[in-house]
Structure 1
Amino acid sequence: MTRRRVRADLAVIGAGSGGLSVAAGAAQLGLKVVLFEKGEMGGDCLNWGCVPSKALIAAADAAASARSAERLGVRAQPEIDFPAVMAHVRRAIETIAPHDSQGRFEGLGVTVVREAARFTGPRAVESDSVAVTARKVVIATGSHPRLPAVPGLESVAYLTNETIFSLHELPARLLVLGAGPIGLELGQAFRRLGSEVVVIEHGSPLPREDRDLVEPLLEQLRLDGVERLSGARVLEVEHAPAGVGLTVEVGGERRRLEGAHLLVAVGRKPALDGLDLEAAGVAYDAHGVHTDSMLRSVSNRAVFAVGDAAGRQLFTHVAGAHAGLVVRKALFAQRVDVERLVVPRVTYTDPEVAVVGLTETQARAAHGDAVRVLTVPFSGNDRAVAEGDVRGFGKLVLDPRGKVLGAALVGRSAGELIHPWALALDAKLPLRAFTSFIAPYPTRGEIHKRLAGAFYTPILFSGRTRALVSLLKRFG
């Protein structure tokens, strides 16, 4: 086959969040851009990740809200129409898809090639029909589910986040392998939609987070009826009359589990297979492309990696942030530093768990016992009381002088509430900024003022301050 030869300013491999953002930014600046995508436009987030999972979670939350409405004096019992739930999931994808579509990007001036791409040289990329020589190349291929080395796994029809949204019937019993964000989010959602759910966890649930943040979630999972097997090691997977069978070891004893379906959610790995990175002299390993602080390949200065392919934090919003850095560096020669990004993360369970900056564990490891930790429960928040949902709390991690090192929230809408603390860390706002603004009443966001105020209250009402007030009143 004769390939069409193209010279471009930029070649982008992968049309997920990072690749699309880079391509759009470069094209709108007037540069010639070629974008390769072998799968669906929009990548994992639109088609198998963020969008469908949050659409499913919304349906599950609606069902849970109906069941728990009696505490507010409302009696309701939801009827789950699973095909209709999945139709809602598909509508969400279809509604957002035009923004990531081939047509939109061609309208921006991007040459879109819907084929697999591979390197043939330091600046050369080709597919079946096109050979591109570019000034810069950006690898934005995302990631795939990581599969554990468990005997028999390849012999059963297991699910991952890339296939679970293709289900047409609600699983009667869902076995979930892994207790990270994906496993817990989807496990809770399917339980609330009516499936029996068993979560098999070898290590700690949400291992990145402080244990006090995870406890309210674990209690809710218990109330929801999610069964958890802690410290379990899967020895074998095989076919079973119900669908799939697992032999696990828990506490030194073997146990047999059966379910209709098995969801494998033990993490993700960068999708670098088939790129022939060796041909471009691009160094990489199982964690991603080796990049410097500017997201440039350490072994090929013409190649950049963004998002999951860069192997740092595997979040869609990180891919978008990476794209902005690459556009600034590759196209404008600005100096950027990926290590300076302030990246919040949210686990979209109920209650949500949201964290930005250092965790308490990380802060104590870095700064010792001088770290100050302040917590304020939602039980003292009037809006939470009015809603009948006081689960969780807010948490600040500070240095001795009150500098914010990290913040966390667990509770309803924690992912929405974490935004101000991400801004504070990014803009280096002082803690007093959270005491001076006026928060509308009653709102859950008042917890920000309460958290900041908890630092200043001992100072404001100290014996020294009271003595000063006593002195000043003589001159009043």
Structure 2
Amino acid sequence: MEKHDLIVIGMGPAGMAVTAMAANMGLDVLAIEKHKVGGECLNYGCIPSKALLKSGEANQITKNLKEFGIKLSGKTEVENPLEIVRAKIGEISGNKTMKAFKRAKLIVDQGAAEFIDKKVIKVAGKKYSADKIFIATGTEPLIPPIPGLKDVSRLTNLNIFAQKDIPESLTIIGGGAIGSEMAQAFSHLGTKVNIFQIDDHLVPSGDKEAGKVLEEKFKKEGIGVYNNIKINKVEEKNNKILTTTELGVFKADKILVATGRKAILEPLKLDNAGINYNKTGIEINNQLETNIKGVYAVGDCNGKALLSHAAMHQGMLALMNAINPTPIKKFHYNDYLVPWSVFTKPEIAQAGITEKEAKEKGMNYQIVKEEYANYGRAIADGKTEGFVKVITNNKGKIFGATIVGEQASELIHEWVLAIQHDISMFDLMMTQHSFPTISLMNKRVAEKWMMNKTNSGWIPKLAKKLI
């Protein structure tokens, strides 16, 4: 039986973070991946979806050239965007990715790892042991119990990028990040798209007002959005997918299921090691350690934050905790704010709490909001949809920020830093931002907060007296 310092099970974002850092420190690392290094994020999720969105955006730009005073003779023809997406993924996951792990021992595509006991696993009939084991097996698409759905030729993020051609029509179940991004990507490439969901607005985990801005954009682009809709059944007839709802039957060439994720736990045989788990994932403490000392669960498999950047961050924290010889300074994953972004046009990004959550908690708060349409750079760019909305209070403490609009996914990080390190609205207002950058939108919100303070209460009276 082979003995190693560390064993990492799963080479998605979390597992890659642990493996790269540990191997760079000179530790003897065994990394196991049952399919492809990079996991879902690189091969079936974050990266290919962004590549397809970029293809769709390029095509959409040609349709809007008149807005910039440019005339186009003829029209574009969608040829092979999915082939190009696959080529880009191959380039990323080729030598560049493998080179980063040359100091570790990799076992790829030899089957799933399973626990024999607390510190021993088995892969393809061979046993391996380590004092520290990191489980990073991720999640897989959740298929809801809609009558007939499991019997039709359905798409998920696992196979949508493997298609040969762009479909003429597409039904999407689910209006979260995956459903919304794929709806716009395919629509921009010429597909007729309809989205159905049980929630009352797109990107339901976020701000309702932001979701409605995106919905209006979708409707302008010809995407059908059907909220609060129950699907009665799905069936396949004559190579078409028929989706029956209370509004009638919708026909499409393909159907994409984007209704959430579930942890991949069964192949691990966690019971052999006595590792506790529940329906949402592997149970961990705030140091990302399971109930078995020296065994950690990082990334989506623990169900805490189903986001690639959270997985990478957890991998880093877990390794730092594992090699720390003292209990004095341990890193707790819940001490770090987790932002998220949806890469549609306009983008949506969130950090901290939403307005709805502030209301539910009965907080004493105020909303400061600045519209993109009020800023000259956004008008010049023709990107006036959206807003920056901040949950704050009279003292300028920041509790949350919602952004819907151009470069929202980039702007959100200033608010992450502010919330995590208790930087106030006044501090942001006093920070110079280069003009005319889109990031100046953040400063404009802080300025608006200050203007609200100075035009009410005792301040105007004092100012007049001093002048």
Aligned to 2:186: 190
Question: 1: distance between equivalents of 2:393 and 2:75?
Answer: 48
Q: 1:123 aligns with which of 99, 119, 125?
A: 119
Asked whether the 8 Å contact 1:176–1:187 carries over to 2, the reply is yes
**SS of 1:407's equivalent?**
strand
Instruction: Write out per-residue CA displacement over residues 308-341 of structure 1, whole angstroms, 9 at most, x where no aligned residue.
Output: 0010111100001101110111111441211111
1:110 pairs with 2:105: yes
1:242-294 Cα shifts (integer Å, max 9, x gaps)? 422222234xxxx2222111111111111112110100111112211011111
Q: Where in structure 2 are the equivalents of 1:356-435 lying within 5 Å?
A: 356-368=351-363, 370-435=364-429
Does structure 1 residue 218 correspond to structure 2 residue 215?
A: yes
**1:470/1:232 CA distance change after superposition, 3 Å:** closer
- 1:371-430, Cα deviation, whole Å (9 max, x unpaired): 111100011111001112211011100134220000111011111111111111222212
Deviating more after overlay: 424-433 vs 283-292? 424-433
Confirm whether residue 38 of structure 1 aligns to residue 38 of structure 2.
Answer: no
Structure 2 runs not aligned, ≥5 long: none
Structure 1 position 281 matched with structure 2 position 274: yes
Find 1:347's aligned residue among 342, 345, 363: 342
Does structure 1 residue 443 correspond to structure 2 residue 437? yes
272-281 or 421-430, larger mean C-alpha shift: 421-430
Per the TM alignment, residue 149 of structure 1 is displaced from its structure 2 partner at its CA by 1.1
The match for 2:316 is: 324
Q: Using the TM superposition, give the Cα deviation of residue 461 of structure 1 relative to its aligned residue in structure 2, in angstroms.
A: 4.1
Tell me, yes or no, if the aligned pair for 1:63 and 1:78 is still in contact at 8 Å: no
Note if 1:313 corresponds to 2:313.
no
Residue identity in the other structure for 2:419:
L
Counterpart CA distance in 1 for 2:109 and 2:151 is: 31
Q: 1:18 aligns with which of 11, 14, 19?
A: 14
In 1, are the aligned partners of 2:118 and 2:274 still within 8 Å (CA)? yes
Distance 2:286 2:295 in 1: 13
User: Are positions 1:53 and 2:49 aligned together?
Assistant: yes
SS of 2:448's partner is helix
2:240 matched to which residue of 1?
243
Provide the C-alpha distance between the structure 2 equivalents of 1:203 and 1:221, rounded to a whole number of angstroms.
Answer: 16
CA gap 1:472/1:88 in 2 versus in 1, 3 angstroms? same
Aligned amino acid, residue 316 of structure 1 = S
Distance 1:332 1:111 in 2: 25
Task: Answer whether contact 1:27 1:110 (CA < 8 A) is retained.
Answer: no
Whether the 8 Å CA contact 2:143–2:150 is kept in 1: the answer is no
The structural deviation recorded for 1:101 is 3.8
Q: How many Å apart are 1:472 and its aligned residue? A: 4.2
Aligned with 1:70 (options 66, 70, 84)? 66
Counting only pairs closer than 5 Å after superposition, residues 171-190 of structure 1 correspond to structure 2 as 171-190=167-186
Mapped partners of 2:335, 2:297: distance in 1: 17
| Counterpart in the other structure of 2:256 | 263
Q: Which amino acid aligns with 2:358?
A: A
**Alignment-mate amino acid for residue 104 of structure 2:** G
The CA distance in 1 between the partners of 2:250 and 2:356, in whole Å, is 35
Q: Helix, strand or coil: the match of 2:230?
A: strand
Correspondence for 1:133: 129
Tell me the CA shift for residue 295 of structure 1. Answer: 0.9
Superposed CA RMSD in Å reads 1.7
Q: Which amino acid aligns with 2:385?
A: R
| 1:421-444 residue CA offsets vs partner (Å, 9 max, x unmatched) | 111122221222211122222121
- When structure 1 is superposed on structure 2, of 206-215 and 14-23 the one drifting more is 206-215
- Give the distance between the partners of 1:174 and 1:16, measured in 2 at CA: 29
Distance 2:320 2:99 in 1: 26
Residue 460 in 1 paired to residue 454 in 2? yes
Q: TM-score scaled to structure 1, two decimals? A: 0.93
Q: Secondary structure at 1:274's aligned position in 2?
A: helix
Equivalents in 2 of 1:158, 1:292: separation in Å? 37
- Which residue does the alignment assign to 2:294? 302
Residue type of the partner of 2:274? G
Write the distance in 1 (CA, Å) between the matches of 2:414 and 2:457: 32
Do the aligned partners of 1:382 and 1:443 also contact (CA within 8 Å) in 2?
Answer: no
Gap change, CA 1:363 and 1:24, over 3 Å in 2: same
- Amino acid in the other structure paired with 2:192: E
SS of the counterpart of 1:444? Answer: coil
Change in CA separation of 1:109 and 1:35 when aligned onto 2, cut-off 3 Å: closer
Q: 1:362 to 1:100 in 2, by over 3 A?
A: farther
- Separation in 2, partners of 1:422, 1:151: 42
Asked if structure 2 preserves the Cα contact closer than 8 Å seen for 1:41 and 1:100, the reply is: no
The 2-side partners of 1:43 and 1:208 are apart by 24
**Matched residue of 1:432: which SS?**
helix
Which of residues 146, 156, 160 is equivalent to 2:156? 160
**Counterpart amino acid of residue 21 in structure 2:** G
In structure 2, C-alpha distance between the alignment counterparts of 1:154 and 1:408, rounded to whole Å: 36
Where 1:418 maps in the other structure, the secondary structure is helix
Report how many residues are paired. Answer: 461
Kept in 1, the 8 Å contact 2:171–2:195? The answer is yes
**Cα distance change of structure 1 residues 239 and 445 upon mapping to structure 2, 3 Å threshold:** same
The one-character-per-residue Cα deviations of 1:209-235 (angstroms, maximum 9, x if unpaired) are 121111110000001101122222222
* Counterpart secondary structure, 1:144: strand
- Matched residue SS, 2:267: coil
1:81 aligns with 2:78: yes
Tell me, what secondary structure is at the counterpart of 1:213?
A: helix
Return the letter of the residue paired with 2:275: V
Matched residue of 2:369: which SS? strand
Determine if the alignment matches structure 1 residue 233 to structure 2 residue 230. yes
Shift in Å at residue 183 of structure 1? Answer: 0.7
Moved more, 313-322 or 398-407: 398-407
Q: Classify the secondary structure of the residue corresponding to 1:34.
A: strand
Distance 1:222 1:99 in 2: 42
In 2, Cα distance between the equivalents of 1:133 and 1:100? 29
Contact 1:353 1:414 in 2 (8 A): yes
